[in-house]
Chains A and B, each alone.
Chain A
């Protein structure tokens, strides 16, 4: 059945009647009625200068569809004006009413844009005319580019955003705590140590003598007191509470013993029982 399709097509093409347009013309007029632009439309190529409509302008398009051979007016089944935005892919189809004699008139009033006009951006709309009929060859004509004011964006589905990469979110961190300059801290340290000057000065005057320092009754107690102090420093630097309590407990037993001994020694000495 399709052994000779190309020949069949060629034959069909040769036989199919061809439609053409007579006196196609477009006019742009402002809302006051003054004509801004009026040009015939070339069937061979699209107009190189885009047609610009502001928000009150009216575009009028008139033509007559005729049989190319007989010249008689024809009313085709399909006479569509197609508006196409190449960037967004949006498309609008506007059927044009054609009389039995083939005459057609279309008016695009930007004050009341038809529903068929697709949502527009800054990009121009490509306007083409599609004429189709069961008895004639189809005819597609690219007319001109149309620049119209941008419309509102198309309302998107609420879930649409989740089907695209979402904007990145960065957490705003609290600023790092500011420390005072180290020299100031060092100065404050010196201020804290200042009483030692007074202490050491007075010490020089009093000049106490630690005569019993190494006496076997007292020295262990001083040693354990020192050990306690060191334990607390060690705790501050490294140890955990539990360790400190256990070490401190052991040390406390020793301290009680040494302290008892040392204090009783001192007591004995003071009352002169020695």
Chain B
């Protein structure tokens, strides 16, 4: 099934001239107010050019529905209508969560207004400031309102292109919980804070901080764009403001002659969310004895076992999976209830995509599992489990001819030899009894 699908993708890729595509499907639903649709033309046309199949839908339109007959209609959903309080019946926080459970990827834009989506964000360990408090920053000194902020992008980030220009942002920040499934993509500048749009009073900020808890939303610990990868592998990206994808910010210069990084940033975010980048899979796993290639169903305690995994990474440029040897911290566990052995599964030099580890089976028999459970922020999690039995040696599998047993061997052999000699002598000998008897008879 999977092969068939990837084959179809491959054919589709050739048919459209090897466009960059997602590893999970190309249909995208964009939920946006028809009036605002043109504001995002650069970003959305970019997606179209990449090969995505975009469908537009107004937030209150009844069709096309996102889930039909329990089946998601689209592979990805972009929710740009961030200020809407009322959506069509089928777009609810519950249905969005259900979509995630059905491997649909989402990009959800938030706004300073209180909407059903802002309460959904809390379920993803993102805490939003009170309604009506967007992020503002007076740094650096610039023209324009303080709520439109140039945010510098981390120079090296697993999701983003290297050395992006700063991006323009306006919207709402969120504080991040300690949930490890969160993938921070863009953080707020250290000097920024959430405040009422009309400025608010300085004392209100102090009071907010003194109230404790999450009273004051300020500083670089806040997130602006944050990804979340579910345990199933579907991805959702929360964006503090839809404006980051807008044409206006994409064309707005951050300083004289320096274009903003918004467009590339939006592409990178979409690439990650739509399973184009940082997508891995385990093709197959093998296990065998050292110096053998035959895979066994059971191993004997103390056997030397070799376990190998073949891992591929999705290459969106060619829409194919290519062997990938770039993982440095892969680990293999050999578990029976608890891991008995945990060892590094290192890339094999010369064989792309192959990771291998050799170890001695524990001297405990039972049903063991070779486990790979590789979870890293921003990467597809890799899971594999293979069950094998580890058995004690067979009756003839133990060491033999031990020096400690020499006396027993000698004893047994000497008894045998003695028995044989005795038998031979008794059978072949001339008995004295007979002679004695013979004498009497005579």
Chain A contacts to B: CB under 8 angstroms: 2, 5-6, 8-9, 12-13, 16, 75-80, 82, 84, 90-98, 115-116, 130, 132-134, 137-138, 140, 154-157, 159-160, 162-163, 165-171, 173-174, 179-180, 182, 185-186, 188-189, 191-193, 195-196, 199, 208-213, 215, 218, 221-222, 225-226, 229, 232-233, 262, 266, 269-270, 272
Contacts and interface: CB of A to CB of B under 8 A. Distances in A.
A232 B416 contact: yes
Interface stretch (B27-35, B134-142, B269-277): B134-142
Contacts of A229: 416-417, 419-420
Contact of B376 (A163, A173, A211): A163
Contact of A93 (B139, B212, B216): B216
A16 to B, nearest CB: 6
29 contacts: A5-B255, A8-B143, A13-B141, A93-B209, A93-B216, A93-B219, A95-B202, A95-B209, A98-B202, A138-B140, A156-B178, A157-B179, A165-B331, A168-B342, A169-B339, A169-B341, A173-B360, A173-B363, A179-B403, A196-B414, A209-B430, A210-B424, A210-B429, A213-B428, A218-B427, A222-B427, A269-B434, A272-B434, A272-B441
Interface in B175-220: 178-180, 190-191, 193, 195, 199-200, 202-203, 205-206, 208-209, 212-213, 216, 218-220
B138 A193 contact: no
Contacts of A93: 193, 209, 216, 218-219
A145 to B, nearest CB: 16
Contacts of A95: 202, 205-206, 208-209, 216, 218
Given A6-B256, A115-B212, A78 B206 contact: no
Contacts of B139: 130, 132, 138, 140
A248 B331 CA distance: 54
Nearest to B412: A236
Given A9-B142, A116-B209, A138-B139, A189 B410 contact: yes
Contact of B373 (A132, A162, A179): A162
Contact of B219 (A82, A221, A269): A82
Given A132-B191, A156-B178, A76 B202 contact: yes
A179 B404 contact: yes
B428 A212 contact: yes
Tell me the dominant secondary structure on chain A's binding face.
mixed
Nearest to A116: B209
Contacts of B256: 5-6, 9
Contacts of A160: 178, 180
Given A138-B141, A166-B342, A209-B429, 18 more contacts: A12-B143, A77-B195, A78-B138, A82-B219, A93-B193, A93-B216, A96-B206, A116-B216, A132-B139, A138-B138, A169-B341, A169-B342, A185-B406, A192-B414, A210-B424, A210-B429, A213-B424, A272-B441
B385 interface: no
Given A218-B427, A218-B428, A91 B190 contact: yes
A173 B360 CA distance: 10
A226 B420 contact: yes
Contacts, number: 202
B428 A79 contact: no
Interface string B315-343: 00000000000000101010000011111
A270 B413 CA distance: 32
A6 to B, nearest CB: 4
Nearest to A189: B410
Contacts of B405: 185
A248 to B, nearest CB: 15
A179 B339 CA distance: 32
Contacts of A157: 178-180
A191 B407 contact: yes
Contacts of A9: 141-143, 255-256
B94 interface: no
Interface string B232-250: 0000000000000000000
Contacts of B377: 163
Contacts of A163: 180, 375-377
Contacts of B423: 222, 225
Contacts of A171: 340-341, 360, 362-363
Contacts of A78: 138, 191, 193, 202, 205
A45 B161 CA distance: 35
Contacts of B206: 95-97
Nearest to B431: A270
B439 to A, nearest CB: 12
B143 A132 contact: no
B428 A133 contact: no
B418 A199 contact: yes
B438 interface: yes
Given A82-B190, A189-B410, A94 B418 contact: no
B404 A192 contact: no
B268 interface: no
A221 B193 CA distance: 108
Contacts of A170: 341
A211 B193 contact: no
B304 interface: no
A195 B411 CA distance: 10
Given A82-B190, A84-B190, A140-B139, A168 B344 contact: yes
A97 B375 contact: no
Nearest to A154: B178
B359 to A, nearest CB: 8
Closest 3 CB pairs of A and B: A132-B138, A6-B256, A188-B407
Nearest to B201: A77
B436 to A, nearest CB: 12
Given A91-B220, A169-B340, A182-B403, A270 B434 contact: yes
B392 interface: no
Contact of B404 (A79, A115, A165, A180): A180
A196 B138 CA distance: 108
